[in-house]
Amino acid sequence: MSYLLRRTGQAVFTVFAVVSLSFGIVRLLPGGPADYLRAQLIQQGGGLTQEQINQRIAAQTNIATDEPLYVQYVDYVWDVLHLDFGTSIWYNEPVTAVLGPALPWTVFLMASALFVQFVIGVSLGAFMAYREGSRFDTGATAVSLVSNSIPFYVIGLLFIAFLGYRFDLFPTGGRYASSVPVGPNLDFVLSVLYHGALPILSLVVASFGGWALTMRGNSIRVLGEDYLRVARLRGLPERRIALRYVGRNAILPMYTGLLISIGFMFGGSVILEQIFAYPGVGYYLIQAIGQRDYPVMMGAFMIIAVAVTIGVFVADLTYGYVDPRAKGGENSESY
């Protein structure tokens, strides 16, 4: 219980530190968003008084610059904890109204890509280990190394150039076709999968090799264990040995990496969604950077930071249940 409380406290502190850092960026750094907004409002003219300018800044950044610093900080943290990230400068809407509808699309894109690449990588890596030294193993290892060496955005650009524009097989932007009625119907689902195919495929092609090589190494190590020789001498079916002994023990060390990848893939969505013009959190973050829309930028940064924190937190708490051998090490991290 003390371990759970300590890890929960660390996760909460991490999120709190991110919120505090975002306050520092918005309020304390010279030339930060508050100063930028003030200069922009003064430049626009309109006869705004100093009090009206402060009210505009407070409405868009959740920071009342005419209040004492500690009051600004408390108000900012309170608003962020209530998911009030301010008002977008460019869209003139609450940040939650801009990023909230985009978040499920990013989750769909990243979760689908991570699931597919993990399944392909684990299956291929296990098969490579069982065929160690064969032509298949040599060829698959080379393909995995190439896959793991090419950035996903390079593959994405190639897909857009050839599969999108040259052969016109897939759409080059958007989340679904505008002619399809939005809702729980088959046409909408197929359109969503069709538009998400290239972004998902880019991540899968660029990442399955890393999972395959990791699984191959883990499986080869497990295949050399004495208990497998004993299992074969006892006459256990090879299928049972492969799934229950080899596969399970080889995949356990990859569990933590899988959960942490969920969080870090939100960061990768920034480039991917921009390449494919896919309106998710990463897409709006790039747009906000170009338009100097600081409230949206801070909201997106916090979403990414919280996603990474949750991924690490869940991985650390659940690893002991997935691998009972790690339960004895509750005084330290499980990975």
Q: Could you read off the pLDDT of 225-279 as tens digits, one per residue?
A: 888 888 888 888 888 888 878 887 888 778 777 777 776 677 777 888 889 999 9
Return the SS3 of 324: helix
Greatest mean pLDDT among 71-85, 215-229, 251-265: 215-229
> Please, is 46 exposed, middle or buried when counting C-beta atoms within 10 Å of its C-beta (0-12, 13-18, 19+)?
exposed
> What does the mean pLDDT of the chain come to?
82
188 or 311: which leads in pLDDT: 188
User: pTM higher than 0.85 for the full model?
Assistant: no
**Better pLDDT: 24 or 66:** 24
User: Distance between CA atoms of 43 and 71, rounded to whole angstroms?
Assistant: 28
Rounded to whole angstroms, how far apart are CA atoms 106 and 119?
Answer: 20
- DSSP reduced 3-state for 94: strand
Return the percentage of the chain with pLDDT > 70, whole number.
Answer: 90
* Rounded Cα–Cα distance for residues 334 and 4 (Å): 12
Kindly state the percentage of the chain with pLDDT values over 90: 23
Q: What is the pLDDT of residue 180?
A: 87
CA distance 324 to 328: 8
DSSP 235: T
Number of alpha helices (DSSP H) and beta strands (DSSP E) in the chain: 14, 0
Q: What is the average per-residue pLDDT within 14-37?
A: 74
How many residues belong to the chain? 335
pLDDT of residue 263: 66
pLDDT, position 335: 40
pLDDT tens track for 124-180: 999 999 888 899 999 999 999 998 889 988 999 999 999 999 998 999 888 988 888
* pLDDT value for 65: 64
